[in-house]
Amino acid sequence: MSAEATNPEARSEARPELRRRGRTRLDLRRLGRAALLGPTSRDRLPDAIGHVAEAHRAHHPDADLSILRRAYVLAESSHRGQMRKSGEPYITHPLAVTLILAELGAETTTLTASLLHDTVEDTEVTLDQVREEFGDEVCFIVDGVTKVEKIDYGAAAEPETFRKMLVATGNDVRVMSIKLADRLHNMRTLGVMRPDKQARIAKVTRDVLIPLAERLGVQALKTELEDLVFAILHPEEYEHTRALIAAHAGERDPLPAIAESVRVVLREAGIHAEVLVRPRHFVSVHRISRKRGELRGSDFGRLLILVGENADCYGVLGELHTCFTPVVSEFKDFIAVPKFNLYQSLHTAFATSDGHVAEVIVRTRQMHRVAEAGVVALGNPYATAAATAAATAAAAASGATAGSAEACADPYEERVDPTRPGWLSRLLDWQQSAPDPDTFWSVLRAELAQDREITVFRADGGAPATISLPGGASCIDAAYAQYGEAAHGCIGARVNGRLTSLTSRLSDGDTVQLLLAHDASSGPSADWLEHAHTPAARIAISSWLKDHPDGAAATTTAARAPLSVVGARGGGGNAVADLPDATVRLAGCCTPVPPDAVAGFVVRGGAVTVHRVQCAAVAQMRSLGRTSVAVHWRATADCRVTLLAESFGRPHLLADLTEAIAREGVEVVSATVEPPVEQRVRHSYTLQLPDATGLPALMRAMRDVPGVYDVSRA
């Protein structure tokens, strides 16, 4: 039973500006008394849910309302005698929650479950009775909404409650739709609670439920919840904003005149559109005032233009930008690139001749419905409209829907909602591994604070072909999303074909190839946590570092000086200069080998330095007027060459590379390893080959060493 209930009239009278414009406030106290007084004929809907039926028929004209009547009768009889803290009958609460959902366009099954959402928790009604009377679908949703734990867990109560809600939502988003409407009604009627309890409930609503409403696309609930929370947690700023809106109400509003100008422009262009002035809600006005300082008359609202087809949206945009002065920085196309919460619209702004700037939203009527109701507008995610209607009719005729008796026994494992968004799948994946309620709670809040989602493509062609990540995610997040704990061995990535470090941020549409080390001792470093944004990545990295303190310490040691290994041999290899008794040296800048075309130049001391003809030093010598010396190769096949190997840092890499070189029968004359930069290491090897023809095979062998991504001539 919801304890956060009080007199709805008192709340609306205290803050009438929070009423939704155009909505008739119902006298729920009167409806509750009517529900308790007198029998209702079984061949018609009870008077108390007449408003629900009217709102439901506005969205679903052909809906069969008989199941709503039966659900109301069961809810009213089971809650009879229970009262809210304000003294009104408890049935007024499920009625109000159901009316909120009906106004958003929820389908009949959702409304039925909404009427019954507290019966299993707070009355003698059981899930078996709900299943027998209303079928598996309603039973499943009611079971998902029911608060399983009835005892007070103290500080851990809210995290555990929301963990269960999260899992239930993953199985059917209609569960969260009912929970959001439930919280909205409780927030509307929060006035009789103690101030400290009001603040606690408002903070949870702000931190978790409002972000969930945003992510589920239910803007109508989200905006009203924001205003109610704003009034409780920031009363002074709320009063200041209320005063701004009240002062604006007494002034001339320029938006109606601008809207009429837009109507004329669109009418002349032959575009059928509805142009509305949409006032901003309190929190929106507060944000605009903080951003812009002194508010202008046009800042208190926006123009909403509704059209029939997608193409008309762009037609409207063209006319606005042609006939008015557009503010280019304000243009956003959420039709071509929808937001992660189903939202689609065109956003723009233009300046009028008298200096006003009007912000404009352009969308189709279907986009508008989805923008307001989000997942609620999707209806039943498990059936087509025809199947839903057939199931409802069958339930009305038989009193139950066909299905397995175990269908709602465990709502957390039976099925997965096909409309589940990517962010919800991620939350469900990591919540199972969250070690304790506090970690779950903090990470959940951080995840919900992300207001943007990106999609990246896998370069390996594996399934799934795409990975959904929050905005700002790095290659580290992609690695853990794709490989789970196996990502501990990730040593690098290619993004759009280019090598990059794991800490690189990803953009929407990037193609990612992740490179894993074959060394079982490889693991993440502590600095990965600074670049990991997803809960799954952060929890996995933290767990590994906790289990491997030595490994974590080793990865954070200070950069070392370059390591050099120098052999005993030197000289010009098998190069011979056409200069008697001259000492010949192979240039270290290009390390020529047979059969490279070469040129020699005399340097100080009479020695001849041999370069490849493509070497930049050759062009420089000739530009200075230096005469080259003819050089040729001896018949012997051995040669000396310098190779550069670039790799991702990992344990035992130097040993593996030198072992690969030795297997090819090549002698290491000298080797230099530079300090790692962004987990990448550069190696330089001067090698003595017994046969120059073995150079390609040697380079392939070095590239095959795990972690090495490139080997080239110096």
What backbone torsions phi and psi does residue 522 show, to the nearest 5 degrees?
A: -65, 145
Q: How far is CA 15 from CA 121, 186, 191, 245, 283, in A?
A: 32, 15, 11, 13, 14
What lies within 8 Å, CB to CB, of 304 at 6+ separation is 275, 276, 277, 278, 360, 361, 363, 368
Strand, coil or helix: 420: coil
Would you say the C-alpha torsion 91, 96, 99, 100 has a positive or negative sign? negative
678 classed as catalytic = no
**Omega before residue 8 within 30° of 0, cis:** no
> How distant is the alpha carbon of residue 405 from its chain centre?
36
Strand, coil or helix: 80: coil
Give the whole-angstrom CA distance, residue 623 versus residue 395.
94
Would you say the C-alpha torsion 206, 212, 214, 220 has a positive or negative sign? negative
121 classed as catalytic = yes
Closest CA to 21 of 321, 368, 281, 274: 281
Helical pair 173-188 and 136-145, crossing angle rounded to 10 deg: 50
**Candidates 9, 17, 64, 121; catalytic one:** 121
**Is the CB of residue 487 less than 8 Å from the CB of residue 543?**
no
3-state helix, strand, coil in the chain (%, to 5): 50, 15, 35
Question: H/E/C letters for each residue in 576-614?
Answer: EECCCCCCEEECCCCCCCCCCCEEEEECHHHCEEEEECC
Q: How far is CA 79 from CA 44, 49, 86, in A?
A: 21, 15, 16
Q: What does the DSSP assignment read for 157-191?
A: HHHHHHHHHHHHHHH-HHHHHHHHHHHHHHHHT-T
**Is the CB of residue 193 less than 8 Å from the CB of residue 201?**
yes
Neighbours of 199 (CB within 10 A): 14
Would you say the C-alpha torsion 619, 620, 626, 631 has a positive or negative sign? negative
Q: Give the H/E segment covering residue 357.
A: strand 357-364
- Residues paired with 682 in a beta bridge: 646
Give the whole-angstrom CA distance, residue 469 versus residue 535.
11
**Is the CB of residue 310 less than 8 Å from the CB of residue 335?**
yes
Give the whole-angstrom CA distance, residue 476 versus residue 516.
12
Give the whole-angstrom CA distance, residue 289 versus residue 242.
12
**Candidates 122, 429, 638, 664; catalytic one:** 122
Give the whole-angstrom CA distance, residue 366 versus residue 498.
41
Residue in the block written with tokens 């120059």: 692
Q: Which residues are catalytic?
A: 121-122
